[in-house]
């Protein structure tokens, strides 16, 4: 397992993949004919930690990851960004575009829609290669020769073909309201079950869903496991879509375990932290991260069984590490209309579109309404601290609560300085999940399951992943994609 730390050197990576990459564009295309059109699936398990993978595999907890690892060329990737730019909604556009942040300038979740350059799946689709994108974060994809399901935070909840809309809207609502027990109604759940029942849901997944429902009835404290169940439900649809549209390149994105890491590392390893876990937390939180990794281990087994003839690439884009000295918590409006009314923003004049955690957009019909809303938010304070942060996005505002203190804040008053109006903070906002305990790290995992175990000592750049995928399909990279495909020699890889 020490190989995950970079021990060893992979001298001949691409001959394991059936190709020979070099610096010149024409050399990118020299793949063996038997490999040239082999399907490729990019498994996007967001922010899994190479260190935790090593730890859990060494303990025998992740048999499928262990098998995948033993049959793969293993890289540690480097985001090559400063700490303030270590965000999955920045790194995943880099993976798909081959562009660094300085080149793509996608900074916020939702900004991906503004990118005009084509990403890897669209380039392949234009070349006649059928592609499917399932939930990849912060992308600009529209219709492809295949299918597109945008990430659940996409402002447009885009999907193609259009018959996928009911599924996309329900999943977006479930994810965006995951911190709110009132997320999905019984009608939503029935519609989701009916849709999935018609489009690929396996009996084992149905039984898993039933088991979760019964477990929650016995113990509501187990609701936190729902994101892992959603992964299984989505994977069934992913397999169905790949077969229906006969795609040759597909991506599958999951954020469930990243979520567990952000909020439950403190529960798993309390000795690392300055502040102990919440004494009132459900006992199962201590194993939440391991539960997430084992759920993804189940998925990894399914990927290998269901796609025996595909080249599987497992990528995390970045990872997490313990955030040992923070006491940060997040807050979100209990009811958006109530909050808007308190802020003196007429609810009927704007539209609210939740994003992730405490972030949400206020969509305004014109600049004047946006200016007025921004001014109103700027007048809200808790003591001497501004209540909201706000950034302009055209006529819209991207905003969220700036307060990150603990429950003491809930007893403080929120004041409108425009007229002195006040309301208890706790009546306007509720705490999202638990105190933070995981933060981003620039290292990530990239494992290419080519049948032979090799370790690359030097780190790979995320900008090399899209060129590698294009070269696999003998599709030239566009001029703006300057990263080289992963080389068959360490010296060339290091200088890429």
pLDDT digits (tens, 9 = 90+) for 279-317: 889 999 999 999 999 999 999 999 999 999 999 999 999
Task: Please give the Cα distance from 57 to 464 (Å, whole number).
Answer: 27
pLDDT at 67: 98
- The DSSP call for residue 372 is H
- Class of residue 286 by CB neighbours under 10 A (exposed 0-12, middle 13-18, buried 19+): middle
Across the strands, what pairs with 321?
439
Of 78, 79, 75, 57, nearest to 67 by C-alpha is 57
Residues 95-114 have pLDDT tens digits of 999 999 999 999 988 889 98
Q: Tokens 């995981």, residue?
A: 438
pLDDT at 257: 97
Q: DSSP 3-state helix, strand, coil percentages of the chain (rounded to 5)?
A: 45, 20, 35
Return the CATH class of domain 2-324+443-494: alpha beta
Contact call for residues 193 and 212 (beta carbons, < 8 A):
no
Contact call for residues 456 and 90 (beta carbons, < 8 A):
no
| Rounded (5°) CA angle 410-219-179 | 40
Task: Please give the Cα distance from 110 to 173 (Å, whole number).
Answer: 16
The neighbour count for residue 395, using CB atoms within 10 Å, is 17
E-strand ranges in 136-274 read 146-149, 159-160, 249-254
pLDDT at 17: 37
The β-bridge relationship of strands 360-363 and 351-354 is antiparallel
pLDDT at 131: 98
pLDDT at 180: 63
pTM over 0.75: yes
- Pick out the chain residues at pLDDT < 70: 1-36, 178-184, 407, 487-496
| Rounded (5°) CA angle 158-441-313 | 55
pLDDT at 433: 80
Task: Please give the Cα distance from 359 to 337 (Å, whole number).
Answer: 16
> Which tokens sit at 48?
């899994």
The β-bridge relationship of strands 40-45 and 249-254 is parallel
- The DSSP call for residue 439 is E
pLDDT at 85: 95
In Å, how far are 101, 151, 350, 363 from 106, measured between CA atoms?
Answer: 7, 15, 25, 19
Q: Tokens 């360490």, residue?
A: 490
Q: Which of 301-311 are b and which e, b meaning 16 or more Cβ less than 10 Å from the residue's Cβ?
A: bbbbeebeebb
Contact call for residues 10 and 458 (beta carbons, < 8 A):
no
Contact call for residues 19 and 30 (beta carbons, < 8 A):
yes
């Amino acid at each position: 397992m020490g190989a995950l730390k970079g021990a060893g050197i992979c001298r001949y990576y691409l001959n394991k993949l059936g190709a020979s990459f070099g610096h010149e564009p024409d050399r990118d295309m020299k793949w063996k004919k038997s490999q040239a059109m082999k399907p490729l699936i990019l498994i996007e398990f967001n922010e899994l930690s190479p260190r935790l993978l090593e730890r859990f595999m060494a303990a025998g907890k992740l048999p499928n990851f262990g098998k995948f690892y033993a049959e793969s060329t293993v890289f540690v990737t480097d985001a090559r960004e400063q700490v303030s730019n270590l965000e999955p909604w920045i790194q995943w556009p880099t993976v798909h575009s081959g562009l660094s942040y300085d080149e793509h300038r996608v900074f916020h979740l939702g900004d991906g829609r503004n990118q005009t350059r084509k990403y890897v799946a669209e380039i392949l689709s234009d070349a006649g290669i059928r592609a499917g994108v399932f939930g990849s974060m912060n992308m600009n994809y529209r219709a492809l020769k295949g299918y597109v399901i945008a990430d659940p935070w996409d402002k447009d909840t885009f999907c193609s073909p259009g018959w996928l809309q009911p599924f996309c809207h329900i999943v977006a609502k479930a994810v965006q309201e995951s911190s709110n027990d009132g997320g999905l109604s019984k009608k939503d759940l029935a519609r989701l079950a009916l849709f999935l029942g018609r489009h690929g849901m396996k009996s084992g997944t149905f039984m898993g869903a039933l088991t979760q429902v019964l477990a929650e009835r016995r113990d509501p404290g187990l609701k936190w496991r729902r994101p892992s169940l959603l992964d299984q439900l989505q994977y069934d649809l992913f397999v169905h879509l790949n077969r229906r549209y006969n795609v040759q390149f597909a991506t599958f994105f999951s954020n469930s375990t990243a979520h567990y890491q952000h909020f439950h590392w403190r529960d798993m390893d309390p000795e690392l932290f300055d502040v102990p876990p919440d004494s009132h937390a459900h006992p199962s939180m201590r194993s939440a991260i391991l539960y997430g990794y084992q759920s993804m281990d189940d998925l990894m087994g399914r990927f290998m069984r269901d796609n025996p003839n595909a080249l599987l690439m497992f990528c995390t884009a970045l990872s997490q590490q313990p955030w040992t000295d923070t006491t940060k918590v997040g807050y979100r409006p209990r009811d958006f209309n109530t909050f808007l009314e308190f802020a003196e923003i007429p609810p009927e004049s704007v539209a609210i579109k939740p994003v992730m955690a405490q972030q949400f957009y206020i969509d305004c019909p014109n600049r004047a309404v946006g200016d007025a809303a921004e001014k109103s938010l700027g007048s809200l304070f808790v003591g001497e601290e501004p209540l909201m942060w706000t950034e302009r996005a055209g006529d819209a505002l991207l905003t969220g609560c700036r307060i990150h203190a603990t429950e003491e804040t809930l007893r403080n008053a929120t004041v409108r300085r425009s007229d002195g109006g006040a309301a208890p903070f706790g009546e306007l906002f509720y705490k999202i999940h638990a105190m933070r305990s995981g933060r981003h790290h620039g290292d990530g995992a990239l494992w290419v399951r080519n049948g032979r175990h090799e370790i690359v000592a030097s780190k790979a750049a995320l900008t090399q992943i899209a060129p590698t995928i294009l070269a696999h399909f003998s599709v030239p990279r566009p001029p703006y994609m300057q990263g080289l495909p992963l080389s068959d020699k360490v010296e060339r890889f290091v200088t890429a």
